[in-house]
A = this chain, B = another copy of it.
Amino acid sequence: MQQVNPARFMDMLQRLATFGAVPGGGVAREALTISELEARRWLCSRFSAPHYRWYMDDAANLFLRRAGLADALTPVMTGSHIDTQPVGGWLDGAYGVVAGMELFLALDDAGIRTQRPLELVIWTNEEGSRFSPGAMGSSAFADPTRLADFLPVTDAGGERFEQARDAARQATPAATSRALGRPVHAYLEAHIEQGPVLEDGGFQLGIVTGIQGVRWFEISVTGVSAHAGTTPLAARHDALMSAAQLISRLGEMAAARQDPALRFTVGRLEVSPGSINTIADRVTFTIDLRHPEEAVLAEMEALIRQTVEAKTGACGYALRSLMRRPPTRFDKAVIETVAAAVSATGAPACRLGSGAFHDAMYLADVCPTAMLFVPSHKGISHNPAEDTAEADLVAGVRALAGAVITLATPANALQSTPN
């Protein structure tokens, strides 16, 4: 699309990165914090023409609807999220949202109104670092009955998701309320790869065929707190020592499989009471387990449970499942639409699976869905060093624009296939 304006697009992307910018680098804009709400208000302020409308649903997902010529048809949706990890990079999520903004402004410049309405969506709490699990917004959109489980979830400071959701509503008066979960013709999400495949292969664009499966667990180890100076080693019920041994064992077990597709991460660990001279009475840690094959996930979960249960020594153990998703296969027709649009840009591209999960994972449950990747420098993400070359970012916007316009034209019927 000729009207895609690289300077305007990069300006908007850099402006979005100022909300929650960390001195020295990185962005701290966790879900529904003041920084994210200010960024949402800024987004709203950019679209005031009469063919735009803002909506917010009961999960605080924010939608910018661009009216279609046949506005009663189901919309083509694009977007992503603008929440970050506690300290994340400037592109994760933000890229897909600003790409959608640029697409809409380019359509305005070109005087194009698509037949189908278009919707740009900002999903709530994709990262899951403030409120667990992640992708709450898209998950509740795909199945509104899930919202009831999310509302009472609290962040580390004790604030409920429900309170944060209500604050988001008040902070965005421009958005009209609407119900969760509406029919969508097709969903296409642009995102940074967050891995090294595209860069290593010299590709500018990636046509994403699916997302690996993921299971999240929380393990609690319960001991007895006691004085570090008076309690003999043999008489201890030391929750931190037991947790360290367990994590160490689980890590060795995962590494021993030598499966290059397996991901096993303990990223969060909390100690109570957390004092130098007191034996810990409670440690809670998380496991993030991923693999493209459901059978491997099931086998690994069985091994983890077995290892946790075998540790019947001085401490108590409890394992809780926080989230699980089987591998996702994207819609063949949407994949081919993306492939054609990518091909039209002339940028070198390949097909690949996603290592990270995305809101598109839940959308794939309810509508034909696919994703488009741009490279991540050295594969780094969830880190202030996250970056992508401008030429790649712009190529992605052009490909997204081409694919969305095709999807929004009713003559191009989607041959939807089951996931």
User: Contact residues of A with B, CB < 8 Å?
Assistant: 85-87, 127-129, 132, 134, 193-196, 212, 214, 216, 224-234, 238, 240-241, 243-245, 247-248, 251, 254-255, 260, 262-271, 273-281, 286, 288, 290, 322, 354-357, 379-383
Contact = CB atoms under 8 A, between A and B. Distances in A.
Contacts of A267: 228, 240, 271, 274-280
B379 A231 contact: yes
A228 B86 contact: no
A355 B380 CA distance: 48
A265 B226 CA distance: 10
Contacts of A238: 265
Nearest to A266: B240
B134 A263 contact: no
Nearest to A264: B233
20 contacts: A85-B278, A87-B273, A127-B277, A132-B276, A195-B230, A227-B356, A227-B382, A230-B263, A230-B381, A231-B355, A232-B260, A238-B265, A240-B267, A245-B251, A248-B248, A267-B279, A268-B271, A273-B382, A277-B382, A279-B382
A319 B381 CA distance: 29
B229 A355 contact: yes
A280 B87 CA distance: 12
A72 to B, nearest CB: 39
Contacts of A266: 240-241, 244, 280
Query: A-B pairs with the 3 shortest C-beta distances?
Result: A195-B230, A230-B355, A228-B265
A271 B354 CA distance: 27
A134 B382 CA distance: 36
Contact of A240 (B232, B240, B247): B247
Contact of A194 (B229, B265, B280, B382): B229
